[in-house]
Structure 1
Amino acid sequence: MVKQLLHKGFSSVMALLVLFSTVSFTVEKHFCGDVLVDVSVFAEAEKCEMEALEILQKKTCCKDEIEIIEGQDELKVVSFEDLDFKKQHFIIAYTYAYLNGFEGLPKQTIPHKDYSPPNLVTDIQVLDQVFII
């Protein structure tokens, strides 16, 4: 039970790790002068009201910064044939030892499973005043 839960947990973590290492996204920032107005991760950053006036006056105090965070483009896939002979031998030996190393326990028989003890009418130790000290 615990082994299955750990296996599913590690599998999920590894899948999320691969997913997040390959995802790329952009962070867009809008500055009005030296003041940060808006930061946006997936959508376009909102512009301030000063930008409409800048178009009329032909001078700029607003600027946009775009940071692109790129994910991994290629995942390295190694096949069994790409490994050298020593590593192949180790993997085969480890797998064989792991799969054949565990043996099941034989079914144990309990001879007194269906035996019920006799009913006690009186407690003999208390009756005879014999106690283990």
Structure 2
Amino acid sequence: MKSFHKIIALTMAFLVLFSTSAFAVSMHYCGNTLVNYSFSAKAKTCGMEKIDQQKIPSTCNIAKKNCCSDKKIVKDQDEIKATLELHVPQQLFLASFFYTYINLFARIDQQIIPFKDYSPPLLVSDIQLLDETFLI
């Protein structure tokens, strides 16, 4: 049962961490091929932008077309607006449900008998029979 609690706690911690954080992914494409991506900074380019038009010989009649593109995906905190509002009766129901559900599978320890190591006193005579006092 303790491992179940640890798994649930870890899952809830990751859920809170990822739901309250924002991140961005920067990607660089050459044509339809992903060349580079980065989570922290701008993605590195493939180097096609660095080719200088002056270095291309004038006899070359190839029209250069820029096929590279950059794409950025941003997940902000503003996108996470889904909140669950529970009123007092609903909160009470959920709290009692989870409490009874968790205790349903709780391991019941063996009963502790504090006097099991002691022997009973020696019976010299039956006092109830001598006094003729009987419990009904």
TM-score calculated relative to the size of structure 2: 0.50
1:65 and 1:96 map into 2 onto residues whose CA distance is 48
Matches within 5 A, 1:6-17: 6-17=4-15
How many Å apart are 1:53 and its aligned residue?
Answer: 2.1
Match for 1:107 among 86, 94, 112? 112
**Gapped runs of 5+ residues in structure 1?**
114-133
CA RMSD of aligned residues (A): 4.2
Match for 1:48 among 46, 70, 80? 46
After superposition, give the CA deviation of every residue in 1:33-65 in whole Å (9 maximum; x if it has no partner): 333221222221101221112687996332111
**Gapped runs of 5+ residues in structure 2?**
57-63, 120-136
Q: For CA contacts below 8 A with separation 6 or more, give which structure has more relative contact order.
A: 2
After superposition, give the CA deviation of every residue in 1:2-52 in whole Å (9 maximum; x if it has no partner): x44432332122111121123222221112233322122222110122111
Structure 1 ranges of 4+ moved more than 6 A: 54-58, 95-98, 101-105
Matched residue SS, 2:6: helix
- Residues 34, 92 of structure 1: CA spacing in aligned structure 2 closer, same or farther, 3 A cutoff? closer
Does 1:35 pair with 2:42? Answer: no
Does 1:67 pair with 2:84? Answer: no
Matched residue SS, 2:51: helix
Matches within 5 A, 1:79-94: 82-83=87-88, 85=89, 87=90, 90=93
Greater Rg by CA: 2
1:20 and 1:92 map into 2 onto residues whose CA distance is 25
Percent identity, aligned pairs only, is 30
More displaced, 57-66 or 87-96?
87-96
2:109 and 2:22 map into 1 onto residues whose CA distance is 48
2:73 and 2:51 map into 1 onto residues whose CA distance is 26
Aligned length: 106
